[in-house]
Amino acid sequence: MRRWTISLFQPFSVAVFAASMSCTCSMPAYGQAIPRPEQRPEWKAYYAKLDTFRSRGTAALEAESAREKAGDCPKAMNTYEINICLRAEMKTTQGNYEAYVRAIGGILRLQPSGSEPANPKDTPPDVGKEFDVAEAHWLAYRKAQCSTLYDYYIGGTMRGLAYGGCVQELTRRHMHELASIYGDLWH
């Protein structure tokens, strides 16, 4: 077994030893619980916001999933009625999509106060902004795909139906895709 000795001829060692011995650590009194991070005010606010984003996102995804199962415009009897109904369905689906994307973006942007890194080089990328860029690209993709289908039916009454069906299908698939990709944000 090796014994450690402090030599007066090693001033650095003495300084390090003295500094380590003079540490003033605030420890809770005997029997007192150490506060967990989520009990601190800044973390309570963080978790409250996180819960809000999660509940809004879950509500939007569940509402759209239920609507998807019910089917679009089951009572419409002709192309005109389907087109009118499909416009309203598209607005509702778009609203649910936007709510879900806002929830994901909100979670990605959420930072507890006091969590800034000591070294500015360790600052994480703005993942919320990256997510917004990705969603803008996806919206352009959806528009291009559905516009192509719309143009294919030029001059026909199926035009609006094809476009609306395309928007509904791609938006719902994308919401499920986002749920798969960002599912860990809900745990």
pLDDT in tens, the chain (187 residues): 444 444 444 444 444 444 444 444 455 556 566 656 666 777 888 889 999 999 999 999 999 999 999 999 999 999 899 999 999 999 999 999 999 999 999 999 998 666 666 666 666 778 899 999 999 999 999 999 999 999 999 988 889 999 999 999 999 999 999 999 999 998 8
16 in a structural domain: no
Q: Using alpha carbons, list the distances in angstroms from residue 186 to 1, 53, 121.
A: 51, 9, 29
Euclidean distance between CA atoms 121 and 101, whole angstroms: 29
Contact 61, 100 (CB under 8 A): yes
Residue 155: its pLDDT value, please?
A: 86
91 in a structural domain: yes
Q: What is the pTM of this model?
A: 0.76
3 in a structural domain: no
15 in a structural domain: no
Residue 81: its pLDDT value, please?
A: 92
Which residues neighbour 89 within 8 Å (Cβ) at sequence distance 6 or greater? 67, 72, 73, 164, 168
59 in a structural domain: yes
139 in a structural domain: yes
Residue 28: its pLDDT value, please?
A: 52
Would residue 54 be called left, alpha or beta, if left means φ above 0 and alpha means ψ between -120 and 50 degrees?
alpha
Structural domain of 140: 37-112+124-186
Residue 45: its pLDDT value, please?
A: 86
Number of domains observed in the structure of the chain: 1
Residue 29: its pLDDT value, please?
A: 57
144 in a structural domain: yes
Which residues neighbour 181 within 8 Å (Cβ) at sequence distance 6 or greater? none
19 in a structural domain: no
